[in-house]
A and B are shown apart, each in its own frame.
Chain A
Amino acid sequence: MNEAKQPLLEVRDLRVRMRSRDGSGELQVLNGVSFGVDRGQTLGIVGESGCGKSTTALAIMQLLPGSARVNGGTIRFAGEDLLAKTEQDMSRLRGARLSMIFQDPMVALDPLFTVGDQIAEPLRRHMRLSGQQLRERQVSLLQSVNIPSPETRLGQYPHQMSGGMLQRMVGAIAISCNPELLIADEPTTALDPTAQAQFLDLLARLRDAHRLALIVVTHDFGVTARLCDVVLVMYAGTVVECGPVREIFDNPRHPYTQALLAAIPQRERQARLKTIEGQPPDLARLPAGCAFAARCARAVDRCRERAPPSLSVGSHHVAACWRAEDA
């Protein structure tokens, strides 16, 4: 295979099973997810709660909860098989070459240690910094995420900072060792609108400065439009549509994507918020055909009988819908 053509991160047919919450059995929460992302590029993973977008992110980091396990597929990072790595090897990669930040910055840091200490941890472990060098790196990292008077802030505790500042602090920790891949799981959901905009700008700036491969997990198409090159739309553990961001917005081919886009509140004609009728399917009882068929206005018999394959509907644009080409 041509090395140059392989993206930095390549996920192929990823499958994850999870014990159901009532302990009665296992659910197939990811059912064959594939995508790739390269340095300098931003991939947005969009979908409703429970569609498997966070599970995908956690599977890449090998941070799935104890109740979940990967039962198929491959995750290749810079040519290496991440699924074959031991926990010890993964802990050397995490924070060093692949990093992740989470939704709620208020609980992301240990409340009993100074933020300085928590920034120092990956720097000590992965870059073997100490003393003056460590101090300088800590300060410059805080500066790079626009935190004023970094010297003072390093000695403070998480409860002494606002959510927006904490999320920037978390961002600084995540990029502290110059990772190649950064995964941001709903990074702005817990922030107020001003802090949201600031943080998205910061992510874009960090991506460009460090040539990061960036994966943003979100349910907000606004975030996608601002940040992403490629969008992946997920539904019930599968990818229903994937393509360049402009294509997805201008020419969505999967009925689910179309419904999601139609549900974005429009400032001009705020008559009534459009919603998608019905509920996502129970993962314990997935239908034989397309998982979205029950809620789809355009579903035909074939949709209910057989799951649709991913069809190419344009340049780098695929949709998993029997009727994608009819649209």
Chain B
Amino acid sequence: MLTYFLRRAARAVLTLIGISIVVFVIARLSGDPSLQLAPEDATPAELAQIRAELGLDKPIPVQYLVFVERVAHGEFGNSIRYQQPALPLVLSVLPATLQLGLSAFVLSTVAGVLLGVVTALKRGSWMDSATRGLAVIGQAAPSFWIGMMLILLFSVQLHWLPSSGRLGLEHMMLPTLALALNSVAVVLRLTRASMLETLSSDYVRFLRAKGVPRRLIVWKHALRNSSIPVVAVLGVQLGHLIGGAVIVETVFNWPGVGRLMVEALNARDFAVIQAGALLVSFFTVGANLSVDLLFGVIDPRIRYE
């Protein structure tokens, strides 16, 4: 189990390094920030001087190494736009994004698994068909469209819920729903399929032959066995949800990392882009690592690997 975990942890670190390279290079491909900093009538010499001050005159690999060295000291550089350190800037809006991502994650896990189990048990009923129909729509529709439709219905037409901002619980509901719907559909469909397969397995038949009551078979044995593929997908979903929050935040004017990143991208604010992307990746990779650990807890065949 320990070697299993160490292997996964090493892989997670490598993933983070890979992400940092990609983010670093892509940010630099997006344009030249000196153009935004310099006055409109700046001469090429003045632009070159600004670039030199920012360290942008060096080759990209060298810039990257300088960046890594700074990050190792907790330094992500200054935001060009706000003229203050990038890391505290990102950290100040991170809770809003995590709040949104995690609440959507909890919603998709609980609703997806419960609906998946129930539809598997009621296979072929009208409820099963209706839920699966909705799930197909939920999986096909993009979250920004769902977000706008929710705003139209619940804010514009019914005036039940606010359409933007982050004040109380009621502000959270629409963005959470818009973000979670896709994951609910994914988790539901997988749970249902996995549950149906487990329920037709040989060991479930032997459990019945032993006289184990149905409720124990479903909630103890079948659910745990069905959860293995579901947990794998949940890890991926958590990444999607935090990434997807970027779009939903823009639709609902939610003051999180996503909105900050969109602004930073427009301003070629490299330090903020890098800090934001790395922090979000850190949480995503961490989520996947927890999933790997969870596998070990659920499945003894991995624990004794």
Residues of A within 8 A of B (CB): 61, 63, 87-88, 91-96, 99-102, 104, 107-114, 121-122, 125-126, 157, 159-160, 170, 173-174
Are A109 and B209 neighbours in the complex by a CB distance under 8 Å? no
Cα distance A178–B240 in the bound complex, in angstroms: 53
Cα distance A109–B206 in the bound complex, in angstroms: 7
Report if A113-B221 is in contact (Cβ < 8 Å); known contacts: A102-B202, A157-B300.
yes
Cβ–Cβ < 8 Å partners of B225 in chain A:
110-112
Return the chain A residue nearest B224 by Cβ: A112
Does B168 reach chain A (CB closer than 8 Å)?
Answer: no
Cα distance A125–B220 in the bound complex, in angstroms: 15
Are B205 and A63 neighbours in the complex by a CB distance under 8 Å? yes
Are A91 and B205 neighbours in the complex by a CB distance under 8 Å? no
Cβ–Cβ < 8 Å partners of A87 in chain B:
214
Cβ–Cβ < 8 Å partners of B299 in chain A:
111-112
Cα distance A157–B225 in the bound complex, in angstroms: 14
Number of residues of chain B lying within 8 A (CB) of chain A = 22
Does B211 reach chain A (CB closer than 8 Å)?
Answer: yes
Quick one: CB contact mask for B284-305 with A, threshold 8 Å, 1 for yes? 0000000000000011110010
Are B212 and A159 neighbours in the complex by a CB distance under 8 Å? no
Does B30 reach chain A (CB closer than 8 Å)?
Answer: no
Q: Which of B201, B209, B224, B300 has the most CB of A within 10 A?
A: B209
Chain B, range 207-222, C-beta contacts under 8 Å to A? 207-214, 216, 221
Does B82 reach chain A (CB closer than 8 Å)?
Answer: no
Additional 18 contacts, C-beta under 8 A, given A88-B213, A107-B202, A157-B304: A91-B214, A95-B209, A95-B210, A99-B210, A104-B202, A107-B201, A108-B206, A109-B206, A111-B301, A112-B221, A121-B207, A121-B210, A121-B212, A121-B216, A122-B212, A126-B211, A157-B301, A174-B209
Question: Chain A nearest CB: distance from B206 CB in Å?
Answer: 5
Does B203 reach chain A (CB closer than 8 Å)?
Answer: yes
Question: Chain B nearest CB: distance from A92 CB in Å?
Answer: 6
Set A94, A101, A104, A109: member contacting B208, Cβ < 8 A: A94
Are B301 and A159 neighbours in the complex by a CB distance under 8 Å? yes
Question: Chain A nearest CB: distance from B122 CB in Å?
Answer: 13
Cα distance A32–B292 in the bound complex, in angstroms: 54
Q: Which of A91, A122, A125, A126 has the most CB of B within 10 A?
A: A91
- Could you name 6 residue pairs across A and B whose Cβ atoms are closer than 8 Å? A91-B211, A95-B212, A109-B206, A114-B300, A121-B207, A157-B301
Q: Which of B205, B206, B298, B301 has the most CB of A within 10 A?
A: B206
Set A109, A110, A122, A159: member contacting B211, Cβ < 8 A: A122
Are B205 and A102 neighbours in the complex by a CB distance under 8 Å? yes
Are A107 and B203 neighbours in the complex by a CB distance under 8 Å? yes
Cβ–Cβ < 8 Å partners of B216 in chain A:
121
Cβ–Cβ < 8 Å partners of A121 in chain B:
207, 210, 212, 216
Cα distance A125–B207 in the bound complex, in angstroms: 12
Cβ–Cβ < 8 Å partners of A101 in chain B:
206, 209
Cβ–Cβ < 8 Å partners of A114 in chain B:
300
Are B304 and A110 neighbours in the complex by a CB distance under 8 Å? no
Return the chain A residue nearest B210 by Cβ: A95
Cβ–Cβ < 8 Å partners of B209 in chain A:
61, 63, 94-95, 99-102, 174
Question: Chain B nearest CB: distance from A88 CB in Å?
Answer: 8
Cα distance A215–B213 in the bound complex, in angstroms: 24
Chain B, range 248-305, C-beta contacts under 8 Å to A? 298-301, 304
Cβ–Cβ < 8 Å partners of B224 in chain A:
112
Question: Chain A nearest CB: distance from B65 CB in Å?
Answer: 47
Cβ–Cβ < 8 Å partners of B214 in chain A:
87, 91
